[in-house]
Amino acid sequence: MIEKESHRLIGIAGAQPLGTTGDLEIGWIFSRVSWGHGYATEAGGAAMRHVLETLGRPRVVAIIDPPNEASKRVAARLGMTYEARYTGVQLGHRHPEIVVDLFFRDRDSD
C-alpha cells in the first residue's frame, strides 16, 4: 500500500489461502506511523469484497494475534464475527506454533 499524499510504502494487505482449511484469509499490516488513519479498514474491506463478491466465496476469515485489539476492532468494523481461538496445527498453517483468534464473515451477512 502506497500512501497517496507522501508516496510512501505504508503496508500490505490482501487475501491468501488459510492453511488446509479451504478458507481464504484476509490480512493487513501497516507501519506504525500510518496507524489510526483507517487504512486497515479500507484495505481489509477491499480484500473482503474481492473474496466474497469477485471470487464468490461463501465466507472469508481473518486470523488475529489474540492481544491485537486494534485488528480485532478492524474485523468488527468489517462485520466479522469471532469464531474461536485456534493453533496453527488446527488450521494446517505453515507455522504450527501460532495461536490466533479467527474471525469470519459469510457472503450472505448483512
Q: Is residue 92 part of a domain?
A: yes
The better pLDDT of the pair 74, 36 is held by 74
Q: Is residue 94 domain-resident?
A: yes
**Residue whose C-alpha cell reads 499490516 in the numeric block:** 29
Residue 6 lies in a domain: no
Mark residue 40 as left, alpha or beta (left: phi above 0; alpha: psi -120 to 50; beta: remaining).
Answer: alpha
The cell for 21 is 482449511
* Residues spanned by the domain of 48: 11-106
Residue 3 lies in a domain: no
Query: Do the domain assignments include residue 24?
Result: yes
Q: Looking at the domain assignment, is residue 2 inside a domain? A: no
Q: What is the pLDDT of residues 6-27, one digit of tens each?
A: 899 999 999 999 999 999 999 9
Number of domains in the chain: 1
> What was the pLDDT predicted at 110?
59
Q: Are 88 and 95 in contact (CB under 8 A)?
A: yes
Q: Which has the minimum average pLDDT: 16-20, 29-33, 59-63, 68-72? A: 29-33
CATH code of the domain containing 83? 3.40.630.30
